[in-house]
Amino acid sequence: MERRKILVVDFGGQYVRLIARRIRELGVFSEIISPEAGLDYFSQEEVAGIVLSGGPASLKMAGAPLIDSRIFSLGKPILGICYGMQLMAELLPGGHLKASSRSEYGRADLLIKEPVGVFQGITVSGGGKSPGKKVAKKSFPVWMSHGDSVEEVPEGFQVLAETKELLVAAMADSARNLYGLQFHPEVEHTCYGREILGNFVHQICGVTGSWNIKEIVSEKINQIRTKLGSRAGVVLGLSGGVDSAVTAALLHRAVGERLQCIFIDHGLLRMGEVQQVVETFSREFKLPLITVDARERFLKKLAGVRDPEVKREIIGETFVRVFEEEAGKLKDITHLAQGTIYSDVIESGEHSNAEIIKSHHNVGGLPEKMELDIVEPLRDLFKDEVRELGEELGLPAEIIYRQPFPGPGLAIRIIGEVTPERLEILRQADAIFRKELEKSRVSQQIWQAFAVLPDIRSVGVEGDSRTYGYPIILRAVSSSDAMTADWVKIPGEELDRISRKIVNRVKEINRVVYDITSKPPATIEWE
Ligand code: XMP
């Protein structure tokens, strides 16, 4: 398999992950990286090309993120997108940027002046007298989102395309393989975006598109075997979610019986989940599963804790400690496997100096002193790639398409202190909500649906009596990778039915509210 990769330098743009996904869809491995990664990283042999992403900053303002300008002399092809292109104009001699107080968003018609480089071979079927004939397409819609613009291209560059508003909508120094696009080729609204990125990746960087799921499976298995050698034993924490299940399937293929799975019941799981995980797992893997009842231990540690990040830390740390203890009872265990995936790594800010949004418990919450070596075979894969891998490994749909469930479980869906009573209230309401949604016509749109228990009470009336109970918050979102999400428009009559069932069956709850916030500005989970 092609080993070379494209680095996507993250300047904080909302489409950074989309760029990485698009490149992977072209069959080429891509990696998101901080601008501060250092020249050594950028100049590695396996780096076939570099994309400088867009970003919200303006180079005309102090503190805008920069990059070492020697990157342009490494001899690697570079594609600057939006802010990335402006950065080229700012850092390379002769370039000049024009500040703008007005931003241009949305559609623009791109007129290609030089159909070379990234615009090579962009053709469209001709109509009229010669239908089907391929003719060079000169103008097509693209998606813009920028304030500043390039007024003068750097020395050695030529203008490749313009729009009505922009004299320089695309530029290139073809001799040095440096390209800049003011528009976003990665978004769907840009016509030929795929072809433009494809030209960069395949033609200009010269990487073949051989990165596919079948290859990934065998590569991952080889990597695991190399890492573990012929004797090491590995212990895996199984949560029942797709990430740990795919990790288990991969490890099982790689090292067979040397994999030992431990399922820790931390007491923060949903209704019926423990039995479900144990049952599915023993049926699918036919491997002995160690189930540890650590409910009391976790709850004791969480007693009195209200801060979400502290909860995560405690759960992460206790999890690993329980693991180490259990692994210590087994023979020849040297490694701890985890189902960390790429979005966990990105959101924990590990790849850059990005602000930490939430420390995911399987990354940021890890205690510093680990007694076992870590194996994370899914660390560079996005969720949908993990699902594809699961399919390739033959896992059943009920595991692969299971809704994601956070490692810290219901603890981050209970605002304030986690107690056995409050867990029980949440469990009941959550189970009713999810069961009702199964019958709904919106069920296909749902990425995650769950209930959240806040730590406030409100007044209600039942029969002739006043009640003072908990409200419950329902949240259902659609998403493709959890990076962004929208709330699901559950029909009013269904919400009505769900609300009645919850207040009738869960006596502590006297009010039901539905969360109608997208991500951003909210996150999917409440904590
Ligand atoms: P947020 O709330 O950040 O969640 O929008 C994005 C996705 O990540 C899940 N999530 C977690 N998963 N450990 C996990 O394994 C965690 O600490 C954690 N926090 C959030 C969340 O359910 C959603 O799918």
Residue 349 has pLDDT above 70, yes or no: no
Residue 380 within any structural domain of the chain: yes
Residue 407 within any structural domain of the chain: no
Same domain, 463 and 353: no
Question: What is the number of the ligand 1 atom nearest to the C-alpha of 412?
Answer: 19
Question: What is the number of the ligand 1 atom nearest to the C-alpha of 365?
Answer: 17
Question: What is the number of the ligand 1 atom nearest to the C-alpha of 522?
Answer: 5
Residue 355 has pLDDT above 60, yes or no: no
Q: Which of 176, 204, 232 is the last residue of a domain?
A: 204
pLDDT of residue 428: 98
Residue 394 within any structural domain of the chain: yes
Same domain, 121 and 255: no
Q: Measure 83 CA to ligand 1 centroid, in angstroms.
A: 29
Residue 438 has pLDDT above 70, yes or no: yes
pLDDT of residue 353: 40
CA distances from 484 to 347, 447, 463, 479, 520 (A): 12, 11, 43, 6, 6
Ligand 1, atom 20: closest residue by C-alpha: 406
DSSP 3-state of 16: helix
Same domain, 227 and 93: no
Residue 54 has pLDDT above 90, yes or no: yes
**CA angle 499–503–507, rounded 5-degree value:** 160
Same domain, 494 and 378: no
Residue 525 within any structural domain of the chain: no
Q: Which of 204, 225, 260 is the last residue of a domain?
A: 204
Percent of the chain with pLDDT over 90: 68
Q: Which of 157, 174, 204 is the last residue of a domain?
A: 204
* Domains identified in the chain, total number: 3
Q: For the segment 242-256, what is each residue's pLDDT rounded down to a tens digit?
A: 999 999 999 999 999
Residue 56 has pLDDT above 70, yes or no: yes
The continuous run of DSSP H or E covering 135 comes out as: strand 134-136
Q: Do you know the residue count of the chain?
A: 527
pLDDT of residue 510: 98
* Residue type at position 524: I
Same domain, 139 and 228: no
Ligand 1, atom 11: closest residue by C-alpha: 406
Residue 519 within any structural domain of the chain: no
Residue 524 within any structural domain of the chain: no
Q: Measure 249 CA to ligand 1 centroid, in angstroms.
A: 22
CA–CA gap between residue 109 and residue 86 (Å, rounded)? 20
Ligand 1, atom 21: closest residue by C-alpha: 406
Same domain, 158 and 218: no
**Which of 114-123, 186-195, 208-217, 270-279 is the least confident region?**
208-217
Among 524, 526, 527, residue to substitute to test ligand 1 (most atoms within 8 Å of Cβ): 524
Ligand 1, CB within 6 Å, residue ranges = 312, 357-358, 360-362, 404, 406-408, 448, 482, 519, 523-525
CA–CA gap between residue 244 and residue 389 (Å, rounded)? 12
Q: Measure 179 CA to ligand 1 centroid, in angstroms.
A: 36
Domain of 477: which CATH number? 3.30.300.10
The model's pTM is 0.73
Same domain, 467 and 322: no
CA distances from 309 to 313, 327, 376 (A): 6, 27, 23
User: What domain range is 437 assigned to?
Assistant: 413-514
pLDDT of residue 360: 54
Residue 413 buriedness (CB in 10 A; 0-12 / 13-18 / 19+): buried
Ligand 1, atom 12: closest residue by C-alpha: 406
Residue 521 within any structural domain of the chain: no
Question: For residue 380, what is the DSSP state?
Answer: T
Question: For residue 350, what is the DSSP state?
Answer: T
Same domain, 467 and 489: yes
Among 342, 525, 526, residue to substitute to test ligand 1 (most atoms within 8 Å of Cβ): 525
Q: If pLDDT is split at 50, 70 and 90, which confidence band does 219 have? A: confident
Q: Measure 74 CA to ligand 1 centroid, in angstroms.
A: 38
CA distances from 265 to 363, 372, 489 (A): 19, 21, 34
Question: What is the number of the ligand 1 atom nearest to the C-alpha of 404?
Answer: 24
Among 243, 360, 480, 517, residue to substitute to test ligand 1 (most atoms within 8 Å of Cβ): 360
Question: For residue 37, what is the DSSP state?
Answer: G
Same domain, 261 and 291: yes
Helices (runs of H) and strands (runs of E) counted in the chain: 14, 23
DSSP 3-state of 409: helix
Q: If pLDDT is split at 50, 70 and 90, which confidence band does 100 have? A: confident
Domain of 164: which CATH number? 3.40.50.880
Q: For the segment 311-324, what is each residue's pLDDT rounded down to a tens digit?
A: 999 999 998 889 88
Q: Measure 378 CA to ligand 1 centroid, in angstroms.
A: 16
pLDDT of residue 399: 86
Domain of 370: which CATH number? 3.40.50.620
Same domain, 38 and 115: yes
Q: Measure 414 CA to ligand 1 centroid, in angstroms.
A: 14
Return the number of other C-beta atoms located less than 10 Å from residue 508's C-beta: 18
Question: What is the number of the ligand 1 atom nearest to the C-alpha of 360?
Answer: 17
Residue 511 has pLDDT above 50, yes or no: yes
Residue 304 within any structural domain of the chain: yes
Question: What is the number of the ligand 1 atom nearest to the C-alpha of 243?
Answer: 15
**Tokens at 180, concatenated:** 């800049």
Same domain, 137 and 66: yes
Same domain, 389 and 422: no
DSSP 3-state of 145: strand
Q: Measure 523 CA to ligand 1 centroid, in angstroms.
A: 9
Q: Hey, which residues are catalytic here?
A: 82, 184, 186
Q: Measure 45 CA to ligand 1 centroid, in angstroms.
A: 35
Question: What is the number of the ligand 1 atom nearest to the C-alpha of 448?
Answer: 24
Residue with the bigger pLDDT between 404 and 294: it is 294
